[in-house]
Amino acid sequence: MYDYVIVGAGSAGCVLANRLSEDPDVSVLLLEAGGPDTNDLVHVPAAFPALYRTAQDWDHSTIYEPYANDRRIYLPRGKVLGGSSSINAMVYIRGNRLDYDGWGLEGWRYDDLLPYFKRAEDNERGPDEHHGVGGPLPVGESRSRNPLSQRFLDAVASRGLPMNPDFNAGEQDGFGWYQLTQRRGARASTAVAYLHRVADRTNLTVETHVHALKLLFEGTRAVGVRGTRLGEMLDFSAEREVIVSCGTYNSPQLLMLSGLGRPEELEPLQIEVVAEVPQIGVGLQDHPNTGVVYAIDEEISLFGALNDENLLLFESEGRGPLTSNIAEVGGFARTRGGLDAPDVQFHFVPGRFQSEGLMPGEGHGFSLGVCLVTPKSRGGVMLGSPDPTAKPLIVHNYLEHEDDVASLVSGLRMCLEICSTEPLGELVSGVVQGPASDSDDDLLTYARQYLMTLYHPVGTCRMGDDDGAVVDRELRVRGVEGVRVVDASVMPSVPRGNTNAPTIALAERAADLIRGRTPLRPQGADAESAPAETAAATAAGGARSGAAGPVSPA
């Protein structure tokens, strides 16, 4: 029997496990379907594509995308302590103020969340009105600084586009170096930042390799979780709450397997209906991405970076090419006038990133991707089988909406223009992957064929005040008791930018809601208390966790 059972040790689950177990009188169980983060490749930033389709990856894909040539698009998700924060590109981006204010939910506006972004953060630039220090999450500068990345920024400047030294300081438009969730050049996942540091707390238990099958209910109250490990059925009891933190694809799947959803879909699968929650799995959003890949003759890209010399440099000094997060630089832009904020984001890679990252480049080169950060297309997550080990059915309907098409086509044209501009364009020796021309038709044809995810799905367990919302403003699932969802699936719309930092801030605030604490006050009101609170929590102790694995090299 535990007070809280958290399902999923990802970006949100690790935060919750740390914060809820700060109270020594509360017992917390954290369940993870994957294993401990002991694979060395997890901690080497440049190696994250090597984790795709391994034991550390759920290896999801869409069903046939109707607006992307009926392709099945690969959707990597972390299946390991740290979840997708253990296999992502580590870019620290909060999104735009308009994103959160646009949710229209009291307590979840940008000013409400800023104290939680700051409480989480330990930014090497130091504290100011936008940033915090002393929090669990390291945020720092790239230690790779590949010369191709600087050439990209120089080409952007040559085109008259603005620079931006800090995408998280109010103004989002412009280009620059991304800050990263790294410490001393190594990945700082939420497992590293939040979980391992409290690994000796006696009131926190971490169980890995436990695949959750369903939530257990007495009437409409959740009382636990049923899972399986190596064929053994395991039941875990929750005295207070079950917290579902399985991510945008797996959280709705687990809820539907547990009898929450649309009766007309559950009953044919012989799933007993516990509560009708009609919007579970609906409203799926993501940042669709496409881009161009070029060959160069000069040997300055990341091609061949995984060698003994660079491994030694990484291990001994925490610097060098292996500290690269692949997408070292980028920025935000507006593809047309009249927009209140950027509608596209760019990620530049000093290497050949192609075939959805599943195939290594065959020589030196560079890539530039553009993603739509304000998608209007909507998809969903459904059950295809009553077997909990079956993958969910996922369709994003990428490029369904004509506004999405217009923005992505314009962004792709900007990619071509930037990559042909000196001093970047002078390096190009050939096109590895690109459209036939810069006409709208050719750009759209290319986008449909080479479109991929930028790994930012949200929205399938939407938070809101209306009856159609899956969870309320305190993230409690409607129609039942004792269940919350805390992960990116509750976001009503996807923020402009990489979603790891917003998910962490959301979980920080959720922890206060669950504990019944007064939320941190907006603006700078938390500046004095947050580091002290964090330090006290760190000193308070650790967890029994025979399955959690050792502290990572970060």
Rounded to the nearest 10°, the torsion over CA 396, 402, 407, 409 is 90
Cα angle value 41/42/48 (rounded, 5°)? 75
- Residues 6 or more apart from 446 whose CB is under 8 A from it? 290, 412, 434, 435, 436
Give me the count of residues in the chain. Answer: 554
Helices (H) and strands (E) in the chain — how many of each? 13, 26
Q: Please give the Cα distance from 477 to 157 (Å, whole number).
A: 48
* Rounded-to-integer distance, Cα 548 and Cα 214, Å: 23
d(Cα 97, Cα 294) in Å, to the nearest integer?
35
Estimate the crossing angle of helix 500-515 against helix 110-120, to 10 degrees.
Answer: 100
Cβ atoms 294, 503 nearer than 8 A: no
- Phi, psi of 352, deg, nearest 5: -90, 100
Alpha carbon distance 247, 489 (integer Å): 6
Alpha helices in 422-490 (DSSP H): 440-450
By C-alpha distance, which of 24, 6, 32 is closest to 547?
Answer: 32
Write the DSSP string, 149-213: HHHHHHHHHHTTPPB-S-TTSS---EEEEPPBSEETTEE--HIIIIIGGGTTEEEEEEE-S-EEE
| Cα 301 from Cα 48, distance rounded (Å) | 17
User: From the candidates 60, 131, 396, 456, which is the catalytic residue?
Assistant: 456
Nearest-10 crossing angle of helices 500-515, 13-20: 30
Q: Are 83 and 17 in contact (CB under 8 A)?
A: no
- Preceding amide of 423 cis, omega within 30: yes
Active site residue 43: no
Q: Are 259 and 388 in contact (CB under 8 A)?
A: no
Angle at 87 between CA 242 and CA 415, to 5 degrees: 125
**Whether 127 contacts 281, CB under 8 Å:** no
Structure tokens given for 190: 């939420």
Distance CA 85, CA 78 (A): 7
Tell me which residues are annotated as active site: 456
